[in-house]
Structure 1
């Protein structure tokens, strides 16, 4: 895979629904039923599932949603991408990084790290490090086939993790970046200037054009090429262009992230969708369009992208 850096700069603030589940189920066959932090007892991947292909879902910016309720999370809303992946035979793990860090798996197992409590002021790099440590703890040495989807800021978390963790003991087959603001979003800078409640703090700062975080992320792309040379990199971008998009963006955008920003780090495959890539609340504001997670064509594309990764 060859990640190609594309020119220009914009910036992002991501509007996402978080997802997690507070399920305190034991690991079959181990007698362990406490909430697990990072422990060597959970490294046997045979305890996770008989499936050999895993999909890890990384949500985006939304510090207001820490309930973990499956009916309200990003991946369960609309056409329920989560359930469609489960029905297709994948073991699906949904990451929650606001509040206590968790990865809740579709077979009922939940990985916990009670030492990590995330907020909107938690650096994106810290979340990326936590995610990398968790995946190595769970899947290290298992040679599972792993697919990942990073939605909006979740794509930044995923990219940081991939740049700093050489997980050669995990077969990373596919990574999908859904409208991730690699070159930022003008809404992040606007939110900071206006001091919008709920949309300020470290993570919004880091998604602002020219931030140290985004610059450092761009400078470390070579690590990804080195570590994951056979991984397929796919970008999803929205061309919905709501009315404010013409004011804040130059070129096609979904109202939060431009196509330019989503493709800034390059890709193997690019898919553009005319649906609103970001949340349904934006549609309520514009009185038109359908949300990304209400668009079955998006779910179909994900399933097609992952086909053959068993």
Structure 2
């Protein structure tokens, strides 16, 4: 089976290796208008991918753009919690309507459709990938300048579905300082390269702790290797997030939009320039 194929090649009369990968792109809802789609990915879980997604969407919203988040992490959704969202999404005769945050960011997440936020989603991979496709094709995304797709970790069904079926302008890779994580990051970057998706930047979360008294920086989780990874793949946009109790508190309280994120300002400006 070709990497660009979505069916059983043995019963297909076409030459799948000659097919245009763009033929797999899925049409959004007829009433949607989305200018830039950026996926936020990680090679493993627990590195702060949803945090970076939330902060990037908030940063671009504060710049005056209308932003949105598609929470593609179906089995581990955390976006609604970070924004303190309790309202449920609903459908009208035209399609699904995303829920707006206090700051005006449009959100669609499986937790906005479940009766209880703590209900587990016990679905297999193809069903999960199908739900992500529905978030794209059945949700009315109105006049969105930047959509950030919060991906599940790894290189499985959902990342492949998003890479093949959504018109991505690029991806942001999220990592942490450990040596092992750097190896896993290489996998995510190489997957993007194989799918011809640009890597717009790399964010290293939990990069350092800054002492509030002397302002010296300490590498609690190991020395950073992010510049080495970025240099190997010609990625110029790099950002580092500190270990900061204020960040965790903002997420826990659902007040991520109230948090300033100067650590991501250069990355935001770079993406703004690249996506023009």
Shorter chain as normaliser: what TM range?
Answer: 0.3 to 0.5
- TM-score by structure 1 length? 0.42
- TM-score by structure 2 length? 0.46
